[in-house]
Structure 1
Amino acid sequence: MSLIASKIAPSIVVFGGNGFVGKRICQAGINAGFSVTSLSSSGVPPKPVVEEDSQWISKVDWQKANVFDPDSYKKHLKNKTSVVHSIGILFENSNYKDSLSDSPFSFLKKFNPLGANPLKKANESLTYEKMNKQSALILAKAYAEQLLESNALPETKVESPSFVYISADQGFPGLSKGYLQTKREAEQQLKLDYENIFRSIIMRPGFMYDETDKKSVRSVFSTLANIGNKIPVVDLLVRPSISTQKVGISAIRRIQDKKFSGIVFLDAIVNNY
């Protein structure tokens, strides 16, 4: 096999690629010339929000998989340049995403910054431990196994592979401490277990919003963050928000930088470096 033929083309797998953040990572990957595969529980592509979305959506390979069952997606991890974990929960409640799609004011009525979790658990299986931590470690283990198996053959060796974990800068008033705790535990475990197998890239965005979705509750937090930039007291509670588009572009840049590993802090994402 020739040297040219033996090179692995840049390719990524995004688990949760049809989700809020994941779809923008898929978009950034397509725009950067990557081959992109999305894995999700439904396998269904997201609905286009703007005309531009239809173009990149048509170029992504949308596949159905269960993150807790590696046999359902091992074949999709083979020879991939990078794997991105972009799933998780903000509240330990299966209905919170529906609440986020309500009007900003209806959500804020449910949001009590001084109390406990404002949304009662509707599904005990959706815990921070399971969704934010264990799902990432299971996916990372499956990817590591594929790399160790494939790299035994020169023609299928993946150069400078990476695993991207979408973590968080910090929480916000009213959010359970378990959210950030499980994120940090996952970060630490990825570094300890796989330091010699792949580059761990930890993205720490703030509260995220989509640039094309101007009416969602995320825009409210964006406004609060902008106020916080001017009022120090508010800034202690509300960190700068960030668009999912910027997070996606930043993640792809770190994948392309074959020497980078570690944490990508909020300021770096905000300021495009």
Structure 2
Amino acid sequence: MSTMSTMASTAMRVAHATSTAAPTAGTKACRQVGAALRSPAQRPFAAPRVARLTVRASSADFSESSESTPIEVVESVQPVESAPMPPAKIVVLGGNGFVGSEVCKEALQQGMTVVSINRSGPPSINEPWVDRVDWVNADVFDESSWSYTLPGAAAVISCIGGFATTAADMERICGDATIAGVGAAVAAGVPRFVFVSVHDYNIPDFLKDQSGYFSGKKRAEDAVLLQFPEGGAVLRPGFIYGSRLVPQLGVTVPLNLVGEPVQKILSLADQSPLGALAEALKPLPASDVLLAPPVSVESVAATALKCISDPSMVGVIDIEAIQTA
């Protein structure tokens, strides 16, 4: 046999032995890296990840040197862009009133979608925000006429209130209307309900019950807190000041000219002789009619909206909490 034939035959035997031999340590490591990169469990696509793996393999089959050579494998996974969250939707009961209008305006400024339920449509003011509210002319007692607005709502805010000539009508406006709203919100699965009520003045109960105003508000409070134990908030402001439109007269009453100075005086009472006088008068019936600090309509609206986003804002929210929210 010639020398060339002998060398060729030897090379073929070596190649065959190498291909059929047990995998070396380096070969096993490379296979493990490949398996790890192919495994779906190792490729989470929810967030960007850069995996940097270093494998050191050494085999006498590769080199006569005992030094290992690092192999660097880099895998880059691009993040999947998620769609932006839609703006929160709120349904305001009585959104064209003094407080309700401010709630609607502030909610729009915060990027929310606003639906107002009231019988008389939008307020009689010429401001740009009015056209951005979905005004639904409906009676809150006729649930079928407005309940279609509730699915998908983050919260219902009731600003219903007013005055009437009889105690029964006052009970209906200040109590039953909001209670009807609570029932509709529960049926639609709305997670939160905010009710703008009134400060619990230390007026004798028999006087409160005679008017229907306070007793109606109290019944509505009880319904909110009972039906929404983890998502219900009751705001109890005192005198609310701001620029109040009187549609029947077509004039705006600047209540801030009275409320703002009184609020400042009472806020400084603790630092003056008035503080001691106020403390002495507190036990007297109806004393907090004069001593309860007024709050701005802007503060009431901002607090009502904060109750939607802040899980800790549940239960009764008193005057001090409204001022500091």
TM-score, reference length from structure 2: 0.59
Instruction: Tell me whether 1:134 sits opposite 2:172 in the alignment.
Output: no
Q: Distance between the aligned counterparts of 1:228 and 1:191, measured in 2?
A: 30
Q: Does 1:210 align with 2:242?
A: yes
Structure 2 counterpart of 1:77, from 129, 147, 150: 150
Which digits, 9 at most, give the CA deviation of each residue in 1:198-219, with x for residues without a partner? Answer: 6111111111111588853564
* TM-score of the aligned structures, taking structure 1 as reference length: 0.70
Does the alignment pair 1:192 with 2:192? no
Given that residues 166 and 204 in structure 1 are in contact (C-alpha distance below 8 angstroms), is that contact kept between their aligned partners in structure 2?
yes
| Partner deviation per Cα, 1:150-169 (whole Å, 9 max, x = no partner) | xxxxxxxx6xx211111111
Q: Which amino acid aligns with 1:206?
A: G
Q: Which letter does structure 2 place at the counterpart of 1:20?
A: F
The AA in structure 1 aligned to 2:142 is D
Q: Secondary structure at the match of 1:188?
A: helix
C-alpha separation between the residues in 1 aligned to 2:243 and 2:319? Answer: 17
* Distance in 1 between residues matched to 2:108 and 2:186, nearest whole Å: 24
Q: For residues 173 and 84 of structure 1, do their structure 2 counterparts lie closer, same or farther at Cα, with a shift above 3 Å needed?
A: same
Contiguous gaps of at least 5 residues in structure 2: 1-80, 246-251
Percentage of identical aligned residues: 28
Q: Which residue of 2 aligns with 1:237?
A: 289
Q: Which has the larger radius of gyration?
A: 2
Q: State yes or no: 1:33 paired with 2:33.
A: no
For residues 206 and 57 of structure 1, the distance between their equivalents in structure 2, rounded to whole angstroms, comes to 27
CA distance in 2, matches of 1:201, 1:265: 10
Aligned positions of 1:4-15 closer than 5 A:
9-15=87-93
Q: 1:201 to 1:126 in 2, by over 3 A?
A: same
Instruction: Map 1:137-156; keep pairs closer than 5 Å.
Output: 137-147=179-189
**CA distance in structure 2 between the aligned counterparts of 1:133 and 1:4, rounded to whole angstroms:** 44
Check conservation: 1:15, 1:22, Cα contact below 8 A.
yes
Q: What does 1:1-273 correspond to in 2, within 5 Å?
A: 9-48=87-126, 54-89=127-162, 91=163, 93=164, 121=165, 126-127=169-170, 129-147=171-189, 161-171=191-201, 176-178=207-209, 179-195=213-229, 199-210=231-242, 215-217=253-255, 219-229=257-267, 230=269, 231=274, 232=278, 233=281, 236-238=288-290, 239-271=292-324, 273=325
Q: Secondary structure at the match of 2:258?
A: helix
**TM-aligned CA distance change 1:260 to 1:221, over 3 Å:** closer
Q: Is the 8 A contact 1:209 1:222 kept in 2?
A: yes
Q: Deviations over 1:69-111 (max 9, x none)?
A: 101101111211111111112x4x2xxxxxxxxxxxxxxxxxx
RMSD (Å) for aligned C-alpha atoms: 3.1
The alpha-carbon deviation at position 56 of structure 1 amounts to 2.0
Quote the Cα distance in structure 1 between the aligned partners of 2:208 and 2:260.
Answer: 22
- Structure with the bigger percentage of strand: 2
Equivalent residues, number: 220
Question: Of the two structures, which has the highest relative contact order with CA contacts closer than 8 Å and spacing of 6 or more?
Answer: 1
